[in-house]
Structure 1
Amino acid sequence: MNFLKLFATVSVVGAALAGAAPQARAEDSSDPIRIVTNDWTSQIVLSNIVGQLLESLGNTVEYRSSDGQLQYTAMANNDMDFQVEVWEGSQSESFNKALQQGLVDLGAHTAVTREDWWYPEYVKEVCPGLPDWKALDACAEKFATAETGTKGRFVGPPAAWGKHYAERIQALKMNFQEVPVGQAATLWAELQSAYDRKEPIVLFNWTPNFIEAKFKGEFVEFPEFDAACFKDPAWGQNPDAIYDCGAPASGYLKKAASPAFETKWPGAFAVLKKVNFTNPEIAAAAAMVDVDGMSPEEAAEKWISDNEATWKAWVE
């Protein structure tokens, strides 16, 4: 963020804080708080929202891009300091492992999450029985492409997101092939292209996300999630394989901090514990970038300007 934008944001927040009692900054370290950013829109915008709020309160902030799984090891080692979006469906394994190494769980947002296979509503016209996964598998050839031959194509997320969909396909013996994309934007380009031509498509999607405000659709219903599904082959439909289930239908969205955070920045720590976003707030924040064409920094500034009643409670 350039100086003029920072000054404008500080002015907006500072005016709103007049008469309030923000957390004391004197005890906080002058070292920069290293906020993790990932490769999807809502996480980047929310990171900028909390970063701009912390800057307005006197802290110094840096943004550090990181892999969705390796970030938690880095945070446990105090190499990065704060993550605003911890997704249960894709990050719980690496998150829980890092908790054993000292990572701090800062609590859950009001927002609940879901990450799984998804299709636009019109697909039900060509594949009766949806959203059941068995009905989808029976229609596999309708999703086939030159790349996948007779198998249906599932447009998967970037491989670094750690979703194990190829293993799910194998465990459930589905006639599908995962074709992962390199970045989230490619998912939406594939969806828009298929939507414009009303072609069958099934792809990775998640909520909260701007997509739900732009396209009507549904998640595929796989066998209900259980933690044993990822560990015990005897659980579930395939006694010889793990990953034979769907993702949590109402997963958590948490925040996390480095072990040293509370000691170095106690004022900022108290603020971040209270940061709390809802599903509509997150979807709207992402839409400002993915639909309206703003930069993440601009979207964060607008969100702060439009949602004083929400964030003021965090800093008081």
Structure 2
Amino acid sequence: MRTRTTALAAVGALLLLTGCGAADMTRQASPFANAQGARTVTLSVQSWVGAQANVAVARYLLEHELGYRVDTVQIDEVPAWDALSQGRVDALLEDWGHPDEEQRYVEDKKTIARGGDLGVTGHIGWFVPTYFAKKHPDVTDWKNLDRYAEQMRTPESGGKGQLMDGSPSYITNDKALVKNLDLDYQVVFAGSEAAQITQIQQFAKAGKPFLTYWYAPQWLFKKVPMTEVKLPAYKEGCDADPEKVACAYPHTPLQKYLNADFARSGGEAAAFLKKFKWTTEDQNEVSLMIADQKLSPEDAAQKWVEGHESTWRAWLS
């Protein structure tokens, strides 16, 4: 879920910013740029639907309960840290762990402030469909994966079993894991979260086996039940060298970050975003409405807000 971006890609992403707030580069593109004294907030939103769910609900409440006008910027995770540091966005609501950026901007430069725990724990892993795991229980131990490599082959996997990943921009340990665990598999990128979901659904509809990189929380588990393959246990530091990784992914409490100036002087909006904290079930509920039921993010947020006042009212106090 974490993303790796080259310097060129980072520049390209920043040029696509349409945010407002303190973003000097984007003032002309912002619908709020010339609104004197306007109460505005710019939120960074990542490409996966869970992050979109966070922003949708935060935006709805900022606009309808606190009277702010909200702009959003879709930008990959690493460039988002740069944008947050420079004030081009005010808040990032779902970070999966970037210790280098945290050290640089939070500890050293102090241009980004911690915004607190989102309340959701993220986990990346390898998964097989539960219908296949029930027939072949041993497939859930990585040591037995090669027994099923032939059944996992696809035209794209070059005669090996396919390990399906999402976007090539995501930071994954999968190529190193396949190599270091000496597995007869080839990592194949679907291209995006949406493309990966489509492929998973197609495999499931046909009842075919598959092995995929996937993550929780994610609404798709409700539609296509999947069972995690147990990789060698994660221990602190086992993934320090990307080339030598031979362990599972960690469980990561997802965090929020705010531009430091905004955190100090952002008034009700900053206070609200610091208090914004919900559950995996909450996030999945909104994600399912957006991705599966095809509601707009605003309509999904409104529906969730109408049914969960006891949860969000505390964020405004």
Q: Which interval holds the TM-score relative to the shorter structure?
A: 0.7 to 0.9
Residue 288 of structure 1 pairs with residue 289 of structure 2: yes
Equivalent residue letter for 1:45: A
Counterparts in 2 of 1:272 and 1:284: CA distance versus 1, 3 Å: same
Residue 165 of structure 1 pairs with residue 174 of structure 2: yes
Match of 2:271 in 1: 270
Q: Deviations over 1:95-130 (max 9, x none)?
A: 554433432221113322211211111222564413
Contact 1:157 1:187 survives alignment (8 Å) = yes
Contact 2:77 2:95 survives alignment (8 Å) = no
The count of residues paired between Structure 1 and Structure 2 equals: 278
- Secondary structure of 2:132 counterpart: helix
Contact 2:164 2:212 survives alignment (8 Å) = yes
Higher relative contact order (CA 8 A, sep 6+): 1
Which stretches in structure 2 are left out of the alignment for 5+ residues?
1-36
Contact 1:171 1:242 survives alignment (8 Å) = yes
Contact 1:42 1:282 survives alignment (8 Å) = yes
Contact 1:127 1:139 survives alignment (8 Å) = no
Q: Provide the C-alpha distance between the structure 2 equivalents of 1:97 and 1:200, rounded to a whole number of angstroms.
A: 43
Within 5 A, what are the aligned runs for 1:115-130? 115-124=124-133, 127-130=136-139
- Secondary structure of 1:111 counterpart: strand
Which stretches in structure 1 are left out of the alignment for 5+ residues?
1-28, 234-240
Contact 2:276 2:315 survives alignment (8 Å) = yes
Q: Provide the C-alpha distance between the structure 2 equivalents of 1:73 and 1:171, rounded to a whole number of angstroms.
A: 33
Residue 37 of structure 1 pairs with residue 39 of structure 2: no
Q: Shift of residue 259 of structure 1?
A: 1.6
Equivalent residue letter for 1:69: V
Contact 1:143 1:152 survives alignment (8 Å) = yes
The alignment-based identity, stated in percent, is 24
Correspondence for 1:216 among 215, 225, 235: 225
Range 98-107 or range 144-153, more displaced: 98-107
Match of 2:32 in 1: none
Q: Shift of residue 215 of structure 1?
A: 2.1
Contact 2:121 2:280 survives alignment (8 Å) = yes
Normalising by structure 2, report the TM-score.
0.81
Residue 308 of structure 1 pairs with residue 315 of structure 2: no
Contact 2:50 2:283 survives alignment (8 Å) = yes
Q: Provide the C-alpha distance between the structure 2 equivalents of 1:76 and 1:223, rounded to a whole number of angstroms.
A: 36
Contact 1:48 1:297 survives alignment (8 Å) = yes
Q: Shift of residue 244 of structure 1?
A: 1.3
Contact 1:127 1:135 survives alignment (8 Å) = no
Residue 243 of structure 1 pairs with residue 251 of structure 2: no
Counterparts in 2 of 1:31 and 1:171: CA distance versus 1, 3 Å: farther
Range 296-305 or range 131-140, more displaced: 131-140
Moved over 3 A (4+): 91-98, 125-128
Q: Calculate the aligned-residue CA RMSD, in Å.
A: 2.0
Residue 49 of structure 1 pairs with residue 57 of structure 2: yes
Match of 1:259 in 2: 260
Match of 2:106 in 1: 99
Q: Shift of residue 92 of structure 1?
A: 5.0
Match of 1:149 in 2: 158
Correspondence for 1:86 among 70, 85, 95: 95
Q: Shift of residue 64 of structure 1?
A: 0.6
Q: Provide the C-alpha distance between the structure 2 equivalents of 1:190 and 1:131, rounded to a whole number of angstroms.
A: 21
Q: Shift of residue 294 of structure 1?
A: 0.7
Contact 2:201 2:224 survives alignment (8 Å) = no
Match of 1:5 in 2: none
Counterparts in 2 of 1:97 and 1:225: CA distance versus 1, 3 Å: farther
Q: Provide the C-alpha distance between the structure 1 equivalents of 2:46 and 2:298, rounded to a whole number of angstroms.
A: 15
Q: Provide the C-alpha distance between the structure 1 equivalents of 2:196 and 2:102, rounded to a whole number of angstroms.
A: 25
Q: Shift of residue 94 of structure 1?
A: 4.3
Equivalent residue letter for 1:253: L
Match of 2:214 in 1: 205
- Secondary structure of 1:35 counterpart: strand
Normalising by structure 1, report the TM-score.
0.82
Equivalent residue letter for 1:78: G
Contact 1:82 1:256 survives alignment (8 Å) = yes
- Secondary structure of 1:114 counterpart: strand
- Secondary structure of 1:193 counterpart: helix
Equivalent residue letter for 1:66: I
Q: Deviations over 1:237-296 (max 9, x none)?
A: xxxx42211111x32111111121123313211111111110111111111112212111
